[in-house]
Amino acid sequence: MKKLIPILAVSALLAACAQPQEFHVIPMPAQVTINQGSFCAKCANVSVDEKLDSLSRKAVARFVEALEIASGSKTKTGEGGFRFILNPNLAAEQYSIEINKEGAVVEASALNGFVYACETLKQMLPAAIYSGKPAPASCSWLLPYASILDQPRFGYRGVMLDCARHFWSVEETKKVLDVMTAYKMNRLHWHLTDDQGWRWESKNYPLLTSVGGWRAGTQVGKDKSLGQTDGIRYGGFYTQDELRDVVAYAAERGITVIPEIDLPGHMLAALAAYPNLGCKGGPYEVRQFWGISQDILCAGNEEIYEFLDKLFDELVDIFPSEYIHVGGDECFGGRKEREGLVPWDTCPKCQKLMKKLGIKPGKEARHYLQDYVTQRIQKMLADKGRKIIGWDEILEGNLAPGATVMGWRGTDGGEKAVAKGMTAIMSPNTYMYIDYYQSAEFDKEPVCIGSKVLPVEKVYSYEPLEGMPEGAEDLILGVQCNLWTEYVTTPENLEYMLLPRMCAAAEVGWVAAEAKDPARFDKSLDHAFEIFDAMGLNYCLDSRGKIGFDRVPARDSVELAKYLEEREKEKK
């Protein structure tokens, strides 16, 4: 990918009369020159190069529709004004915008470039363009004369959404995709399965959702040792048609959806549905508590490989992504539990397999056995034309070329992957786990996991190549922020945890290290907050000294059930 030299040049004052808004685009484009003068976007002509593909035309049409609704005026077809032109010389995610007295010329070579150009233009206009409603008459629709040449630093810029602990509807998931689009994120890592719930429909294994998709209750409070649950049945799942709908919706916005089927651990929901897949043979039940179950897939049982093979046949038919995420994390329970026995240590089938493979008994044997499972899954998916991503625990094995490591336990995982010549996606919990608290005033915040604090400025401070060996820039594919949802119970809560920290992650993935500017980013957040308001999103204002969750109070599970019931009544 061609590297752009990051430049921010403000070459002249903006037009004195009816000045347009200041330039506060997130993520900041690589090269920007602002010139004197302005072009009025309201009632402008629009022309689209006939060479644009259908999805790029849809992206332009969405921009035009948003402009027309917000400005209250129709655009016209004709010369000048907005011109969208195919330029095959630009990279796939690169775009250029030239705004002068003739109008605004947008050039790109593919869908993503046109999507990003449209989002840059939208951020240069009043935030009301994101509302889907007419804007106040006082809004100015002037765009400053400007030259913009832009493309991202990293090709992978992701958000992980956990729908296993708490389930998010198709509508709610699309809202996440909308805000990802606005800030040029291009990968949705969809965590679809875990001990607490199985969230996607399998035609081959229907019990995965009818049994595994529901838990009998949910942990109350943060101390699971108290053994308290609310006793309220909780669950949900996506049909295959709904999965395809989300994938198509994302694809139209230049976003690839990467599904995760976490294995061989974090599979208790699947074991509850098909107990023959576990070492003990059951009975199992979908986990009601947060944390990790010691019950995992039986590595020595050939049935699990047939089971996974059929599942992945369905999955690759629904998700066209190059990668499938196979988890691989926390396979043997919590740290204390790792000192004791796990099912693999005593299971006759697993012991027989270890002997066949020449694995010597002992605690390290578990890692070798997990490596065997991962290698078989990697080959299984390779035969289906796909590659695997796994959490950094997969580094403990011997993978075939093509696997990508997602570093999450600090930055060590990514560093070790690169040292081995493997590709990595940086998602360290020290910078990118946006399920942590946003301020240290815990009593004013919604309940979060643990007691770590990750404010937006720390997310912004992350440098993915820091501490990496030479040549790492060719192996680090990008970055990802992760939103686990043990304590995230409502859409408003979800949005609050996501925003504005996702915007900081977007800049980390897009902007060159030397071009990052915390003061400029902080000032641009004011416009981002206006956009969130226009989109009807909840968000955290801790960066503005307004700590708390006043707009939508945190709820325990009993209150949540009542809230959901009231919301359903309102819909009817």
549 shares a domain with 453: yes
| Within-domain flag for 387 | no
List, in sequence order, every beta strand (DSSP E) within 322-475. Answer: 323-327, 387-391, 404-407, 423-426
Whether residue 142 is contained in a domain is answered as yes
| Region label for 536, one of left (φ > 0), alpha (ψ between -120 and 50) or beta (otherwise) | left
Confidence band for 549, pLDDT divided at 50, 70 and 90: low
Do 40 and 162 lie in one domain? The reply is no
pLDDT band for position 558 (cuts 50, 70, 90):
low
Least confident of 156-160, 200-204, 219-223, 230-234: 219-223
In the annotation, is 337 catalytic? no
The C-alpha atoms of residue 161 and residue 503 are separated, in whole angstroms, by 15
Last residue of a domain, one of 95, 116, 150: 150
Instruction: Indicate whether 137 and 165 sit together in one domain.
Output: no
Cα–Cα nearest to 56, from 104, 97, 98, 92? 92
Is 507 within 8 Å of 153 (Cβ atoms)? no
Question: φ and ψ at 262, to 5 degrees?
Answer: -75, 125
Which residues, including other chains, have CB under 8 Å from residue 158's CB and lie 6 or more apart?
185, 186, 187, 188, 189, 258, 425, 427, 478, 479, 480, 481
Confidence of residue 3 (pLDDT cuts 50, 70, 90): very low
Q: Which residues contact 138 (CB under 8 A, 6 or more apart)?
A: none
Using CA atoms, how far apart are residues 219 and 227, in angstroms rounded to an integer? Answer: 8
**pLDDT digits 0-9 by tens, 387-432:** 999 999 999 878 888 999 999 999 999 999 999 999 999 999 999 9
Residues 197 and 269 in one domain: yes
Of the residues 125, 150, 175, the one at which a domain ends: 150
What is the Cβ-side half-sphere exposure of residue 63, based on CA atoms within 13 angstroms? 32
d(CA 283, CA 211): 13
Length of the chain: 572
| pLDDT of amino acid 483 | 98
Q: Tell me, what's the pLDDT at 8?
A: 39
Distance in angstroms (rounded) separating the CA atoms of residues 212 and 165: 12
pLDDT digits (tens, 9 = 90+) for 263-279: 999 999 999 999 999 99
Query: Averaged over 107-129, what is the pLDDT?
Result: 98
Q: Under a CB-based contact definition with an 8 Å cutoff, are residues 29 and 148 in contact? A: yes
Active site residue 533: no
15: in domain: yes
Long-range contact set of residues 530-535: C-beta below 8 Å, sequence gap at least 24: 530/127, 531/123, 531/127, 531/130, 531/182, 532/179, 532/495, 532/499, 532/500, 533/127, 534/127, 534/128, 534/129, 534/130, 534/131, 535/130, 535/131, 535/175, 535/178, 535/179, 535/182
203 & 284 share domain:
yes
Report the alpha-carbon angle 177-179-180, nearest 5.
60
Whether residue 320 lies inside any domain: the answer is no
Contacts of 235 (CB under 8 A, 6+ apart): 167, 197, 213, 214, 215, 286
Task: Clarify whether residues 275 and 187 are in a common domain.
Answer: yes
Catalytic-labelled residue, pool 119, 194, 260, 492: 194
Whether residue 544 has pLDDT greater than 90: no
Asked, for residue 389, whether it belongs to a domain, the answer is no
Q: Residue 79 — very low, low, confident or very high, per pLDDT cuts 50/70/90?
A: confident
> Would you say residue 330 lies in a domain?
no
Mean pLDDT, rounded, for 284-301: 96
Q: Map residue 524 onto helix, strand or coil.
A: helix
Could you give the strand order of the β-sheet that contains 103-108, starting from the edge strand earlier in sequence? 7-10, 31-40, 142-150, 95-100, 103-108, 81-86, 45-48, 76-77
> 107, 129, 150: which is the final residue of a domain?
150
- pLDDT computed for residue 571 by the predictor: 59
In the structure, what pLDDT confidence band is assigned to residue 545 with cuts at 50, 70 and 90? confident
Q: Name the band, by pLDDT with cuts 50, 70 and 90, for residue 18.
A: very low
362 in any annotated domain: no
Q: Does the pLDDT at position 315 exceed 70?
A: yes
Q: At 126, which CATH number?
A: 3.30.379.10
Give the range of the structural domain holding residue 277, as residue numbers without chain letter. Answer: 156-301+406-571
Co-location of 500 and 528 in the same domain: yes
- If one counts the domains in the chain, the total is 2
CA-to-CA dists, residue 81 to 101, 102, 106, 125, 139, angstroms: 9, 6, 11, 15, 19
Q: Which is the catalytic residue, given 107, 262, 295, 330?
A: 330
Note the pLDDT tens digit of each residue in 436-470.
999 888 888 889 999 999 999 999 999 999 999 88
| Local structure of 48: helix, strand or coil | strand
pLDDT category of residue 241 using cuts at 50, 70 and 90: very high
Omega of the bond leading into 553 within 30 degrees of 0 (cis): no
Mean predicted lDDT score pLDDT of the chain: 91
Q: How far apart are CA 177 and CA 246, in angstroms?
A: 9
Give the pLDDT score at 13: 28
Structure-block tokens of residue 567: 């919301």
- What whole-number percentage of the chain has pLDDT above 70? 90
Residues 213 and 277 grouped into a single domain: yes
CATH of the domain at 442: 3.20.20.80
Residues 141 and 186 in one domain: no
Q: Is 325 one of the annotated active-site residues of the chain?
A: no
Do 50 and 15 lie in one domain? The reply is yes
Catalytically annotated residue among 189, 266, 325, 527: 266
Gyration radius of the chain over CA positions: 25
Say what the pLDDT of residue 470 is.
83
pLDDT tens for each residue of 174-197: 999 999 999 999 999 999 999 999
Q: What is the mean pLDDT of residues 83-105?
A: 97
Q: DSSP class of residue 3?
A: P
* Residue 557, pLDDT score: 52
CA dihedral of residues 347, 348, 349, 352 (deg, nearest 10): 120
Q: What is the mean pLDDT of residues 518-525?
A: 96
φ/ψ of 297, rounded to 5, equals: -60, 145
Judgement on whether residues 132 and 167 belong to the same structural domain of the protein? no
- Look at residue 78 in the predicted model and tell me its pLDDT: 84
Question: Which helix (H) or strand (E) segment is 481 a member of?
Answer: strand 476-483
Q: Which has the closest alpha carbon to 478: 258, 212, 300, 280?
A: 258
Task: For residue 258, give the H/E element and its range.
Answer: strand 256-263
Q: Give the largest Cα separation in the chain, rounded.
A: 82
Residue 99 sits in the same domain as residue 163: no
249, 245, 255, 357: which is closest to 299 by C-alpha? Answer: 357
510 lies in some domain:
yes
